[in-house]
Structure 1
Amino acid sequence: MGALEVIGESSEFFAPVATDLIDQLIGQYRGELEKVNQAADLFAGDMGGIVRYFLQGNGCDKRGYSSLRAERLFQRKGAVAALNATYWSKALALTDVLDVMPQNRRNDWHKQITEMETPEFSEDTVRPTLYGLLSARQQFLAERVDGIFHNLSGEHVTNSPRGFGKRMIIAYILDANEMTCYSRVGYIDDLRCVIAKFMGRDEPKYHASAALISTLKSCWGKWVTIDGGALRIRLYHKGTAHLEVHPDMAWRLNRILAHLHPLAIPAEFRTKPKKTLKTVPLMLRPLPFAVLETLSKKRFIAGRINTPELDMGRHYNRSENPAAWDEACRVLEGIGGTQVDSGVYRFEYAAGAVIDEIIVSGCIPDKVSHQYYATPANIAQEAIAWAGIGDRDTCLEPSAGQGALAEFMPKDRTLCVEISDLHCKVLQAKGYTVQKADFLAWGEGRSFSRVVMNPPFSDGRWQAHLAHAASMVIAGGCLVAILPDSARKSANLPGFDLSFSRTFSNEFQGTSISVVILKATKR
């Protein structure tokens, strides 16, 4: 069984390279090679001594050039080596092969190009090499896994020499000056590419993790969840990156490793982990990397420049990738952006930190798993009117989302409780006081005179949220909740007087549910 069969790899190939482009490149190479040969012949004889005067008399360092003979400067061998390296670099850029090539191979090609040790750039070498790389995609997957494993830090006992564990450490991600070492960060790229393949997701480009490492420098030593929960990472000043993969991912990595080294990987590393009651982070469906790249090109406009307006079109053209553009637009609308012109979005807050959060985590809260449906403004305003908030009332919005209700409540006397990291950042950017927590596990000993809420509805969860919120309302205070219409018959809050609004139908985007507003006043 091959690595291809291990994960159900598809038979897709790289972005194709057009034959006429290779012909054109080889033609350009031959033209420049002829000029190199002419120059070498010209300066090989007496003309070499004459060139020395040009070097000395036209601003060059006399100490540096006076001893440099022109015939040495114009040697054919060195110039042809540089020419070969330049054109091999151009040839590789004709396809996306560098994006999906394992880091070990990228390191080898980079070394050959920078040290000018590439093969001759000829018809006999260019085509076989390019097509060989293009047809090696399935092999690259196994090479990535092997390269990651052999480049785990041998100095840390966290890394097992027998296989991948849930946690692993890669050293020398940063140099002594805390500058990014791209040849090492590439192994993180490889890991993310393999995980993306497991998840049936598009692969990131090979430089994607360099931006991630730069972001992690602002939160040294803290775990950051990326790629939809499939991977966590934390970075230390000394340059080590600690990575933690989902247990299912570690098992899949080890299956490929066992195929490559069948006698070296013990059985326990090749056995699928049993499901236990222990909590394992949920893996969400992350956004495509193309969408994240689209967002990353414009995040500084909303973040580094303190402005609530973001112009997508200034740094990205929709024609480059229409699907990625359209999905990025939906993401911006999902975090409160309003389109005011083609590609221009306006926010009520500085959205840079929120966009950064999306780029790093790879996803936005899923509406189904988080039950997030923004409260329409007309319902929000009516709910606040029912609450009758006075000048001295202390207010709470549980499961606040992005603050659709809090927007109409006194900001200096309102606390928002929210479970989503992303939504917490939105609320903080809008200036609200925020408590990141699961509302049902929070609030013991807290009390408020006004609670206004739009709780999750699925599986009758609104009942538990309603009862928990009611426990925090002081005597004479009131709880106002947006509930499914069926709550008229089933809502039960002992010690409260209940009243219901009219029914609102088809008001929530993405659902046809009918809702009512409940006002519960504590006796």
Structure 2
Amino acid sequence: MTLPINLALPNATLNLPTIHSAVFETMFTKYQAELDKRYNYLEQWNDFGHIFEDYIIQESNLHIYSKEKIKMHLDIEYWKKVHAITGMLNYLDTKSKESIESSLINKENIPDFSIENVQKSLEDTFCNLEVLFAKRIEGIFKGLSSYHVTNNAFKFSDKLIINSSSLANLIGCNSHYGSIIHDLRNVISLLQGNCCLPKRTSTRTLLTKNADNTGKWMVWDGGCMTVKVFKKGTVHLIIDQNIAEHMNAIVANIYPEQLASVLKAHKQKKELKSNVVPINSMLSNGARDILANNVSIDYAKIENPNWAPHKNKTQVPRFIKDKTRYSIETSTTYANKAYTAELESVLFELCTDTDINAYYKQFIFDFDPTLMVDHLIVDGRIPEMVTHQFYESTDRIYECIEQLLVTSEYKTFGEPNAGNGKLANLLPPEQTTCIDISKLRCRILESKGFSDVIHDDFLNYVKTHKEEVDCVVMNPPWSKGRANIHTLAAIEWLAPGGKIIAVLPSTMESKLQDIETQYSVSTNVAFRLKEKFKHSSELNVIIIEIDKPKATLM
């Protein structure tokens, strides 16, 4: 079976499944063998069913007593397998896909499962794949509000508006508007080459979280789109410019007269102003589905000191809740082990402690992880450790800084590379500005009670804001000269008469004299340590104090 399934369009390429004829030859062989087996069970039932009824039903899963119904049920099973192997339904709009799936569930108009029918179905789909996929995108166009001038009827702009009549009409199981947004998520996911596409239930979950925070922007799917839901049901979506151009290119290839203009070249967006651009990885849709639907957040479970095996379990429970800590619990029984392992590896890096046994895994946190979990479900981005230079300060470094810090001497504080808040925990939350380039880390900081949390690159923030703080505590990124650059930026941020306490590589000690001369500050190396951070080798560390003189009155 040879099918033309390579879809390559100007500026837009889809990754499609490679279909091997051997796969289908094997499938048809298994189908015929299974059909013969079920027919044989039926004959046995007709002859001897009254003798061994339970055995036949158990062995064959046979509850239908006619050849026609047996064949129909088996046809349904194998059509589902064809859809799963080829992914052919992924290129249809949600309503068309659900219509086909519904016909299989309701046993309506089921075509015979034969080589001829399967081949015709695949050829009809993949030979017209460009048109089918473009029409899926076109269907999204048609779902946009015609009353808002932001929408363009001929191409995707970076901002789109969908005008639902109410929140219930947007989030409902059969919502037309929810289908449009789900189509958009799937189109973007396909263009990114993802094999595991978002499920309809996951789109409803994301819309529900937006509806719980009406009027606020929420970032979805690693920044591919940013979504705001209003109380009246209107949805505003901002799509990444490159993705919008990608989708326009596909439709332009099918409808060149309407969309010829979208194939013009666009200048690349400028990178971050920092000298290194941090990288984020994406949590897969499968792992995000588990997190949204199969994981609970509660107080951490601990062994009850009063429990003993011989005592009445209803009176003395084996486990009690530790209301000072929270846990995310995963099960050992989830069907997809790969997605479970992926999720657990992320939680392991984020949690404070773990409790693992044969029945469950507890990932324990010293803060309520609800905001963090919401970020992973909705946004999905996870900061890559090396480019983000996230090497959390150790307990020994924490204790050293605690000795140097006198919070009563200052009114305002700053942590410019706050991470998960290890050093920020030394500062009064209501008086502290925490900055971090990772949105996930920002959600964690908010969960720990810090009210002024800013999602930004510290170097960019200092250039665009004039506010100053009295005391800065920091463990900046070290690689590629960033320790020096971030230290100088912190001096710019510091108010006259203020203090910086910084964790730096020992190589920075040779630069302190130049810093004193350039910025008229005084420096002191308070500690010299050999320290091993998580995921690093042993490093030479200095903890320094930088004092900025008070402003002189003229």
TM-score range, shorter chain: 0.7 to 0.9
Identify the match of residue 309 of structure 1 among 322, 327, 334: 327
Does 2:290 align with 1:287? no
Please show how residues 18-167 of structure 1 align to structure 2 within 5 Å.
18-19=27-28, 22-23=31-32, 90-94=77-81, 96=84, 97=87, 100-102=90-92, 103-110=94-101, 112=103, 117-119=108-110, 122=112, 125=113, 128-130=116-118, 136=125, 140=129, 143-152=132-141, 153=143, 155-156=145-146, 157-167=149-159
Match of 1:353 among 358, 363, 371: 371
Q: Name whichever structure is richer in strand by fraction.
A: 2
Alpha-carbon distance in 2 for matches of 1:480, 1:465? 13
Deviates more, 1:502-511 or 1:196-205: 502-511
What corresponds to 2:541 in structure 1?
Answer: 515
For 1:341, the equivalent position in structure 2 comes to 356
Question: How far did residue 296 of structure 1 move?
Answer: 2.6
Residue 168 (structure 1) aligned to one of 160, 181, 188: 160
In the alignment, is residue 217 of structure 1 matched against residue 234 of structure 2? no
- How big is the alpha-carbon RMSD for the aligned residues of Structure 1 and Structure 2? 4.3
Partner of 1:321: 337
C-alpha displacement at 1:479, in angstroms?
1.6
Instruction: Kindly provide the amino acid, as one letter, of the partner of residue 162 in structure 1.
Output: F
Distance (Å, rounded) in 1 between the aligned partners of 2:223 and 2:326: 29
User: 3-state DSSP class of the match of 1:364?
Assistant: strand
Q: Distance between the aligned counterparts of 2:176 and 2:207, measured in 1?
A: 13
Shift of 1:195: 2.4
Q: 1:301 to 1:462 in 2, by over 3 A?
A: same
Distance 1:231 1:175, change over 3 A: same
Aligned to 1:12: 17
Once the two structures are superposed, what CA deviation does each residue of 1:131-174 show, in whole Å capped at 9, x if it has no partner? 65567468556523322213423642444333333333445596
The answer to whether the Cα contact below 8 Å between 1:479 and 1:520 also exists between their aligned partners in 2 is yes
Write out per-residue CA displacement over residues 226-268 of structure 1, whole angstroms, 9 at most, x where no aligned residue. Answer: 2222222333444444333222222221222123234x33321
Please state whether the residue corresponding to 1:486 is helix, strand or coil.
Answer: helix
Aligned equivalents of 2:230, 2:35: Cα separation in 1: 46
The CA distance in 2 between the partners of 1:451 and 1:422, in whole Å, is: 22
**What is residue 381 of structure 1 aligned with on the other side?**
399
Report if the CA contact (8 A) 1:505-1:515 is conserved: yes
Alignment partner of 1:249 is 2:268: no
| Alignment pair present for 1:198 and 2:198 | no
Alpha-carbon distance in structure 2 between the residues aligned to 1:30 and 1:175: 48
Distance 1:237-1:259 versus aligned 2 partners, 3 A rule: same
Contact 2:6 2:16 in 1 (8 A): no
Give the whole-Å Cα distance in 1 for the aligned partners of 2:159 and 2:105. 34
Q: Residue 148 and residue 363 in structure 1: after superposition, are their counterparts in 2 closer, same or farther (change >3 A)? A: same
CA deviation after TM superposition for structure 1 residue 357, in Å: 0.5
Cα distance in 1 for partners of 2:37, 2:177 equals 34
Per the alignment, in what secondary structure is the counterpart of residue 524 of structure 2?
A: strand
Letter in 2 for 1:195: I
1:113 Cα deviation (Å)?
A: 5.1
Pair 1:185–1:368, CA change in 2 (3 A): farther
Aligned-partner SS, 1:481? strand
How far is 1:89 from its partner?
5.3
Counterparts of 2:242 and 2:505, CA distance in 1:
38
Please name the residue that 2:178 is paired with: 185
> Structure 2: any 5+ residue segments left out of the alignment?
44-65, 301-320, 550-554
What is the distance in 2 between the residues matched to 1:14 and 1:224?
A: 38
* 1:465-484 to 2 correspondences below 5 Å: 465-471=486-492, 473=494, 477-484=498-505
Query: Which amino acid letter does the alignment assign opposite residue 497 of structure 1?
Result: S
Q: Is the 8 A contact 2:39 2:67 kept in 1?
A: no
> CA 1:27–1:161 in structure 2 vs 1: closer, same or farther (change >3 Å)?
farther
Residues 424 and 434, structure 1, Cα contact 8 Å, conserved in 2: no
Which of 495, 503, 523 is matched with 1:498 structurally? Answer: 523
Alignment partner, residue 466 of structure 2: 444
Moved over 6 A (4+): 14-17, 27-34, 79-88, 278-283, 303-307
Does 1:487 pair with 2:482?
no
Match of 1:75 in 2: none
Give the TM-score taking structure 1 as reference length. 0.74
The percentage of aligned residue pairs carrying the same residue is: 21
Q: Secondary structure at the match of 1:219?
A: coil
Say if 1:85 and 1:114, in contact at 8 Å, map to a contact too: no
- Aligned mates of 2:67, 2:164 — CA distance in 1: 35
- C-alpha distance after superposition, 1:68-114 (max 9, x if no partner): xxxxxxxxxxx999999876654444452487252253143156457
Query: Once structures 1 and 2 are overlaid, which stretch shifts more, 482-491 or 147-156?
Result: 147-156
Which residues in structure 2 correspond to 1:392-471 (within 5 Å)? 393-394=410-411, 395-411=413-429, 414-438=432-456, 439-440=458-459, 441=461, 444-448=466-470, 450-471=471-492
Residue-by-residue CA offset, 1:391-419 (whole Å, 9 max, x unaligned) = 55444322211111123445565443334
Alignment pair present for 1:300 and 2:296: yes
Mark the CA change 1:189 to 1:474 in structure 2 (over 3 Å): closer, same or farther.
closer
Unaligned runs of 5+ in 1: 35-78
Instruction: Count residues in correspondence.
Output: 473
Q: Displacement, 1:313?
A: 1.4
Q: State the alpha-carbon separation in 2 of the partners of residues 253 and 19 from structure 1.
A: 37
**Which digits, 9 at most, give the CA deviation of each residue in 1:263-314, with x for residues without a partner?**
x333211223233669999995422222323333444335999861122116
Which secondary structure state, in structure 1, belongs to the residue aligned with residue 372 of structure 2?
Answer: helix
